[in-house]
Structure 1
Amino acid sequence: MDLVDLDAMAESHPGLADLDDAALARLKLMVDGAQEVVGLDHLISVLAGGPSMAGDDVIRCYVGFEPSGTAHIGWKVLALRLRNLLDAQANVMVFLADWHAWVNDKFGGDMASIQTTARYMEDTFRALLGHPEEGEGPGQLRFLWASTVMSDGDYWARVLRCSKGMTLAQVRKTFSIMGRDEASSDNDLSRFYYPAMQAADIGHMHIDLAIGGMDQRKAHMYMRDVSQRWGWRKATCLHTPIISALTASGGRME
């Protein structure tokens, strides 16, 4: 498996030559060792002094979770990546997608159990990351729940825009982001909104760097496609290798 090596990307990303040593070191901390990075030029632009998605100089990174289980080795591996991002003076958001988990029938749709698990995940990631300072500034950690974001009407307007023009066949092709196959959800309309919700999450929260396993690639490409259609700036997407579950060959850890 080939992993991202920033030193080997200079020819395809000439903007790297404009970064000073400190900015280049920050970028290497963020992306080196990932399986794939898409849209790297946005990060390069911000590190070179351009505006972030929020219009300032803070690079906002996000990783989303459906609260659905107990800690496993994959969380530790991801925490190492998030620690690098904090050390690179990025703001790191752990997005606890409680409503997404409900749509995906985690805990049988029991929201109380989903939200109890979300609180457990907050405590676990604080410990895995060494209890970093929390806040919205560079080098700080923050947690946000989907149920907080979804109280905003602007969010739902973005969800509709992310749905506009997409066919059912196109949406079905993204169902692997939920750990489901294309034929799994014809009896549940809510799941057809899931990809648009995930795309809207990234734009609504002014995310500069979206992080996920390779299983989330389709969601990120969906986000970039709809951003292109609506003339929105596109977040950089960083994809990490999938750690297979021990109980099912080829399945992802949950």
Structure 2
Amino acid sequence: MNTADRVDLVTRYTQEVVTDEELAELLEEDSPSAYIGYAPTGEMHIGHFTTMRKLADFLQAGVDVTVLIADLHAHLDDEKSPFDLLDARSAYYEEAIEGMIEAAGADPDDIDFVRGTEFQLEEEYTLEMYRMAAETTISRTQRAASEVVRESESPNLGGLIYPLMQNLDVKSLDADIAYGGIDQRGIYMLGREILPNHGGESPVCLFAPLLAGLSGGKMSASEESSKVNLTDSPEEVADKINDAYCPMGEAEENGVLEYMEYLVFPILDERGENFVVERPEEYGGDLVYESYDALESDFVNEDLHPADLKGAAGEYVSEGIDPIRERLTEQPELLAEAYPDKYGDE
């Protein structure tokens, strides 16, 4: 695979690359490395699946991939995960991520999994973090983490340490590429500034878009109706999508269309399949789409009705998460131990 093809593969379905020139130069090398970190807090959902899909592209492009289960980060961010649940939630996250990677068509064995506690408590890491803390202002770290860490008028100190550690992770894991959602941009822009002063290099940054919620606006992990969970039944998936915000002809903040663009069509492309909307002959018969752009065009031009789109979308999304759902529901102890308040009595 030549460099141009590797660049196309690595950058597809992303929102921003910092910078394109640096990435192209990096992909001239044989085995560059990329990393993404996940703090094991709430249950994983379909928004995570869209970023996991990109890891399959990395592997296909010959990029070494590390997934960090950022257990300490999960506690530092306003104690979103109690300390005594970090091990259980980390185990659940690793299992869910392996399921998503496999469902995306890649081999989870090709990815290195690391927990933050495996290296973030070492003396060298800790001393470097203190150096970073001494050289970085509170306002700069707050600005960097504003889209990620829970904010308040009187923030906990852990939320200020969080962005420093996240950038130190890039150095410690020897990552050439830092990959994450676009909400991570502020943190990694800080890293590009400060890492060269701490024995590291400025990483190339790739950012994935954040999906709109099914109820309109931003997807919320705490709002069940705004997202599809990985363990939702086919009936639950269908109900959530049927109730979703999807006004006729409008693509803006349309979560159903975003599911199509960033999840369903990438999976179908890998399989060499089309997206089929089944309709009775009296309403024009079935519609077949080879690309997302064609589907969006029909929807915006009102040639595709929201009800028809939702019906097909529910089936394809449910099919997409089916192997992940099966993997997790066959291990109910994972969820029970990670989220005892919700699943402990089941």
Partners of 2:21 and 2:219 in 1: CA distance: 32
Q: Confirm or deny: 8 A CA contact 1:173 1:182 kept in the other structure.
A: no
Q: Confirm or deny: 8 A CA contact 2:31 2:64 kept in the other structure.
A: yes
Instruction: Give 2:204's match in structure 1, choosing from 233, 236, 254.
Output: 236
Q: Confirm or deny: 8 A CA contact 2:128 2:198 kept in the other structure.
A: no
Q: Confirm or deny: 8 A CA contact 2:51 2:180 kept in the other structure.
A: no
> Which residue of 1 is the match for residue 107 of structure 2?
132
Partners of 1:172 and 1:141 in 2: CA distance: 32
When normalised by structure 2's length, the TM-score is 0.58
The reply on whether 1:113 has 2:85 as its aligned counterpart is: yes
Q: Confirm or deny: 8 A CA contact 1:67 1:121 kept in the other structure.
A: yes
Instruction: Give 1:190's match in structure 2, choosing from 158, 175, 182.
Output: 158
Q: Confirm or deny: 8 A CA contact 2:98 2:108 kept in the other structure.
A: no
Q: Say which one has the larger Rg.
A: 2
After superposition, give the CA deviation of every residue in 1:31-53 in whole Å (9 maximum; x if it has no partner).
1231100033443233324xxxx
> Which residue of 2 is the match for residue 27 of structure 1?
7
Q: Confirm or deny: 8 A CA contact 2:17 2:206 kept in the other structure.
A: yes
Partners of 2:167 and 2:20 in 1: CA distance: 18
After superposition, give the CA deviation of every residue in 1:126-173 in whole Å (9 maximum; x if it has no partner).
122126152xxxxx2111111001132221232233323221111221
Deviation at 1:212, TM superposition (A): 1.0
Partners of 2:145 and 2:154 in 1: CA distance: 8
Instruction: Give 1:73's match in structure 2, choosing from 46, 65, 82.
Output: 46
Change (3 A) 1:47 1:181: same
The reply on whether 1:99 has 2:99 as its aligned counterpart is: no
Instruction: Give 1:211's match in structure 2, choosing from 164, 176, 179.
Output: 179
Partners of 2:212 and 2:154 in 1: CA distance: 21
SS at match of 2:146: helix
**Bigger helix fraction:** 2
> Which residue of 1 is the match for residue 298 of structure 2?
none
In structure 1, the gaps of 5 or more residues are 1-20, 50-56, 135-139
After superposing the two structures, state which structure 1 stretch, 213-222 or 165-174, moved more. Answer: 165-174
Moved over 6 A (4+): none
Partners of 1:75 and 1:133 in 2: CA distance: 15
**Aligned partner of 1:191: which letter?**
G
In structure 2, the gaps of 5 or more residues are 223-346
Partners of 1:97 and 1:165 in 2: CA distance: 24
Instruction: Give 2:33's match in structure 1, choosing from 60, 65, 85.
Output: 60
Higher relative contact order (CA 8 A, sep 6+): 1
When normalised by structure 1's length, the TM-score is 0.77
The reply on whether 1:168 has 2:168 as its aligned counterpart is: no
**Aligned partner of 2:208: which letter?**
T
Partners of 1:206 and 1:33 in 2: CA distance: 25
Q: Confirm or deny: 8 A CA contact 2:41 2:74 kept in the other structure.
A: yes
The reply on whether 1:178 has 2:151 as its aligned counterpart is: no
**Aligned partner of 1:45: which letter?**
E
Q: Confirm or deny: 8 A CA contact 2:168 2:195 kept in the other structure.
A: no
State the Cα RMSD in Å.
Answer: 2.3
Deviation at 1:182, TM superposition (A): 5.9
Deviation at 1:95, TM superposition (A): 0.7
Q: Confirm or deny: 8 A CA contact 1:63 1:210 kept in the other structure.
A: yes
- Aligned identity (percent) is 25
